[in-house]
A and B are shown apart, each in its own frame.
Chain A
Amino acid sequence: MMRKCVLLLISLGIISLFVGPVLAQEGAAEPARSLEVHWLAIAMGIAAAGCGIAQSRAVAGGCEGVSRNPGAVDTIRFFIILGLAFIEFLALLTFVVILILA
């Protein structure tokens, strides 16, 4: 139930992004109002969100591994750092693309 409400709200939010040009086509019924968005900023936000989810899963897996086997802390620490850097790299690629396009 909760999950369906959240999904509904998110989809309404995404749809509302496309409302701007549609309103412009309806004619002079309402004052001209442009809903311009910075698509680049949204792209960075999506990349950051994906990066956040993935890194949280990586760290969670690492923490669980350490809790199950405290002796393997050094190995797991190494894998956590390595994995975080790889995931971070993807969000960083988006950032670099944004720098190039702007």
Chain B
Amino acid sequence: MEHHEFFISTVFNRYIANPIAERLGFHPHHDALPPHLVMVILISLGLIIFALVVRRRFSVERPGGIQQFLELLTEGILSLGQDIIGSHPRRFFPLLGGLFLYILTGNLLGLFPGFMSPTSNLNVTASCGVIVFLYYNYVGFRENGFWKYMAHFAGPSLVIAPLLFVIEIISHCARPFSLSVRLFGNIFAEELILQTLNSLFPFLISLPVMGLALFASTVQAFIFIVLTMVYLGGALEHSHEEADE
């Protein structure tokens, strides 16, 4: 794989990251931070600042474009959560909404020249996947108690419990892997296609591919949070069963 120089990465490293690193005592030969880390920092800080700034402009009577878009997003995620998780989707809304905006912004920023998608790096997507894995297990443990949650791996009957326990553990451990590799593979493949096409025919040919990339980026972010909701619903379903009885 060739190592591309990204404008945003060189600018950030030259003016912000390298001076900080030198003050801390490191002496980086080249860039202190790899480009995906630069993009992660920019996106995280950018989303936080955006959220804080936009809060003041919300109004009930005359919502602007941004407010309408965010309300659409919120309502969509809450209604989907109601369908899938079953109850109190608002409890998980910070995670779901935050992940969706983070992944969507990460995917889409790669289409701009000079930027890269942080999600085209396996480390970034693995961080999202591992967070989801830890969080849904934590929710399961807290809602159901430690032994009940472990017991639900054993399945309905006691006869096949040893085998089913192993199978369930393996399939649960495959979940963060599949979440992260799915997102990584899609976005990395899309970036690779764009790089290849741009090296062959500079401007026009890559436009339809970018259109496809817009759609695929949104779908991948959506699929990520739908699967998060499914896993959360699976972790919570036993407390639902008891609540119904």
Contact = CB atoms under 8 A, between A and B. Distances in A.
Interface of A: 81-82, 85, 88-89, 92-93, 95-96
Contact of A93 (B185, B222, B226): B185
A95 B192 CA distance: 12
B226 A82 contact: yes
Interface residues of B, number: 12
Given A81-B223, A82-B223, A96 B178 contact: no
A52 B182 CA distance: 17
B223 A92 contact: no
Given A81-B219, A85-B220, A96 B181 contact: yes
A88 B219 CA distance: 12
Contacts, number: 27
Interface in B216-240: 219-220, 222-223, 226
Contacts of A82: 223, 226
A92 B188 CA distance: 10
Given A85-B220, A95-B189, 11 more contacts: A81-B222, A82-B226, A85-B182, A89-B182, A92-B181, A92-B185, A92-B186, A92-B189, A93-B181, A93-B185, A95-B185
Contacts of A95: 185, 189
